[in-house]
Amino acid sequence: MRFKFIKIIALVVFSGSVSQAQVEMKSPNSYGFKSVKTISCTPVKSQDRTGTCWSFATSSFLESEAIRMGHGPQDFSEMYVVRNVYKDKARNYVMRQGKANFSQGSLSHDLIRVIGDHGMVPESIYSGKLEGDQKHDHSEMAAVLKGMLDGVLKQKRLSKKWMKAFDAVVDTYLGESPQEFTYEGKKYSANSYAKKMGLDADNYVNITSFTHHPFYKNFVLEIPDNYSNGSFYNLPIEDVQAIVENAINQGYSVAWDGDVSEKGFSSKEGMAIVPEDVEREDLFINPGKEKMITQELRQEQFESYSTTDDHLMHLTGISKDKKGTKYFLIKNSWGEVSEYKGYLYMSESYLQLKTVAILVHKDAIPARIKNKMK
């Protein structure tokens, strides 16, 4: 994702799972949203001044997975994963002699890969905040790390010291990563804690939908933050939506990656729509007609950069407005913004047009689609 800082930042105290009833507050508009299906999830957090929405969205997704598997509400450490991805990304950047992406952004599959390789830890064990820090701010750290790596690349020959130096800088900003820890009276390593929570990297599937590669096959999605060359199953967009709906109806949530640069996207209003008339004055007040979305339009907007990999969020439910139009409830990581306390209602049209990719449990995929995916 390419993070766009917001002015409104809210800090959230972790206190168990939340339900749709806590989200559907009195609406300032006349859309009249009503819940159809909701997935239990943990409270909204704020990524603060970082480009780590990918970690917040996917950690939230896995927290819902933990609830689904009977482990109760958990608070996973976003920054434990970020810490490991920085190190991996640094090695990739140097080995490719600077011809690779080194930024704060990544994708959901990077978090899943970290869990497979390095496990997970609770937020209370590793917050990524040092004593006195009130919120996350990676602005200076990211600049220091990039400058350091570019300096390393100017050397004629690399020593074996640069990675240790890199680790020391990250430790200075985020704190040292725990090897073992005690949580709720039991001793764990990061790997044993992930296993205890049932977090198995092999259970999750990356899915996208673009026509410049064949459908029902894998390909490496060509977006800047896919630095690790993650592979995605390519499906028609109607299959992607069918997976999202089946997942939610069967008790699974979905990690969503997409574009939030449209005029119809407003975190303040808590809505994401693709109206036929984007200039109408009552855009976020009354339901109106939306554009018909085709696979061709999706491809056109992706290839023209109208659709870019902006932001990741967590899909947690399905709702309808007063006219019976379907929307997807999506949990953001910008704090408790809007009347919907940090959630947005995303229309079917927005999902169809602006989804770059999703990550979902393999068992949430309908059998008819899974058979085509082989």
State the SS3 of the chain.
Answer: CCCCCCCCCCCCCCCCCECHHHHCCCCCCCCCCEEEEECCECCCCECCECCCHHHHHHHHHHHHHHHHCCCCCCCECHHHHHHHHHHHHHHHHHHCCCCCCCCCCCCHHHHHHHHHHHCCCECCCCCCCCCCCCCCECHHHHHHHHHHHHHHHCCCCCCCCHHHHHHHHHHHHHCCCCCEEEECCEEEEHHHHHHHCCCCHHHEEEEECCCCCCCCEEEECCCCCCCCCCEEEECCHHHHHHHHHHHHHCCCCEEEEECCCCCCEECCCCEECCECCCCCCCCCCCCCCECCCCHHHHHHHHHCCCCCCCEEEEEEEEEECCCCCEEEEEECCECCCCCCCCEEEEEHHHHHHHEEEEEEEHHHCCHHHHHHHC
User: What confidence tier does 5 reach under pLDDT thresholds 50, 70, 90?
Assistant: very low
Q: What is the pLDDT of residues 198-244, one digit of tens each?
A: 999 999 999 999 999 999 999 999 999 999 999 999 999 999 999 99
Q: What is the pLDDT of residue 28?
A: 52
Q: What is the pLDDT of residue 29?
A: 67
Q: What is the pLDDT of residue 23?
A: 52
Q: What integer is the mean pLDDT of 263-283?
A: 95
Q: What integer is the mean pLDDT of 10-35?
A: 58
Q: What is the pLDDT of residue 13?
A: 39
Domains, the chain, in order of start with CATH, read 20-373 (3.90.70.10)
Q: What is the pLDDT of residue 17?
A: 56
Least confident of 258-262, 272-276, 304-308, 337-341: 337-341
Q: How many other C-beta atoms lie within 10 A of the C-beta of residue 306?
A: 14
Tell me, yes or no, if the pTM score tops 0.85: yes
Q: What is the pLDDT of residue 339?
A: 87
Q: What is the pLDDT of residue 295?
A: 98
Q: What is the pLDDT of residue 12?
A: 39
